[in-house]
Amino acid sequence: MKDKVEFKKMREFGDIIGDTFLFIKQNFIPLLKAFFYLTGVFIIAGMASSIITQLELGSLTRDKSGIAGMLMSNSMERLYQLALNYVFVVVFMMLLYTSIYVSILSYIALYIKKGNEAPTVTEVWGYYKYYFFRVLGSGVLMSIFLFLCFMCCILPGIFVFPAVSLFYAIMILENASLSYSFGRSFKLLSGEWWTTAASLLIIYIIFYACTLVVQLPAVIITMASAFSSNPGAISRSYVFITSISSYASLIFMIIPVVCSALLYFDLVERKESLGLLSRIEDLGKED
């Protein structure tokens, strides 16, 4: 059996990808347990809001009057309801992504603190409730910042994406503020942008490939609907299956989050050698 993954060390490009999956494999059950305990409610809520919204939108498009007719009529309650449903979808998605990042990074922080031992859900919950709202508020601002960068001819968005990926790891693993995490992410990337960006590119390709496998049933149903004599029933089945598979596939977000933590420690070791200094200080100490 391989030794447990040590975060505080330098890694080559292939080691970052390999250790991402090795860590998940070694901590599979406790990591998934913490993930579902802390994010399950947001997955279910987001799934429900997505299904309701898509069914309502499908009902409007099948209605003879349609959305245009609703706009011209005196009663627009259904349209307002549809808009409200979309608001709920966006809100639950923000809460879900925040929960995923906080739960996984809190798990990693405790794993390191306990000497590479898996923490309990109760221990992760202690970190989770401390960081959740801080990361939520910071995440909204960082999402707006990233969106504006992508709007500026895309290239600025590509440039800052690795820094944004490191931002959440810095905030939790260093218990840092928004401004400090933002500045430190760019400082750590100085001179190491290409390697970090390449690692993230590969890991996100793997992530999207995994999500496509989960969402394959929805694609099959879409193809079947073209030959169905009852497209209405197929449409409702498509809504349920796409919503469930889309939210279920978010479990694979564990992969890029773990990778971002490994990249953070790799960059810290290259710049500051904190892990090496820590191991030197531990020499001669008793357990």
pLDDT digits (tens, 9 = 90+) for 104-150: 999 999 999 999 999 999 999 999 999 999 999 999 999 999 888 88
What pTM, to 2 d.p., does this model score? 0.87
Model confidence over 15-28: pLDDT tens digits? 999 999 999 999 99
| Residue 105 resides in a domain | yes
| Residue 78 resides in a domain | no
The domain of 162 spans 13-37+100-280
| Residue 161 resides in a domain | yes
| Residue 85 resides in a domain | no
Q: Work out how many domains the chain is built from and give that number.
A: 1
| Residue 136 resides in a domain | yes
Model confidence over 90-105: pLDDT tens digits? 999 999 999 999 999 9
| Residue 125 resides in a domain | yes
Residue 70 pLDDT > 70, yes or no?
A: no
CA 220 from centre of chain: 26
